[in-house]
Amino acid sequence: MKIKKVVAALCGGMMMVMSVAPVMAADAKGDRPVAKKIVQTAGRDALGDFAPDFARYNDDILFGEVWSKNDVLSLHDRSIVTISALVASGVIDSSLKYHIQTAKSNGVTKEEMAEIITQLGFYAGWPKAWAAFRMAKEVYADK
């Protein structure tokens, strides 16, 4: 799949486990993909007792609503937006690696990831791109 849009967004990242069927079906007319519901429990699993509102926002709003609007913006493209935002924000930790793994699961190829990070190097900073490349190489090594 070719990337047709240049997107930018700011969002937070954290370690999460997300389940979703990566293939989308078309609607009855075949015009538009039907959204796949994202089921997320990482917030409740990690913070449910300590910060129940934050856990609910993470699981039900961020993933249950925002990521589940994948009939409008595909999971492939949402992954690209998320990785771009994390790298640009300097979030070069385990959450970035998680989102690179998720991007791979969402169909972002090694070649696309290399182009994404190269592009980010010029706009977000060369050292951030180097850090992102280290993680991406690990994720895509077992291709």
pLDDT of residue 8: 30
Query: How many Å from the N-terminal Cα to the C-terminal Cα in the chain?
Result: 18
Cβ-based neighbour number of residue 12 at 10 Å:
12
pTM of the model: 0.73
pLDDT along the chain (143 residues), means of 10: 32 40 48 78 91 94 89 94 98 95 97 98 98 97 73
- The CATH number given to 74-143 is 1.20.1290.10
The single residue listed with the structure tokens 């190269």 is 118
Long-range contacts, stretch 42-47, CB < 8 angstroms, 24+ apart: 42/14, 42/15, 42/16, 42/17, 42/18, 43/16, 45/17, 46/15
Taking the domains of the chain in order of start, what are their residue ranges? 15-72, 74-143
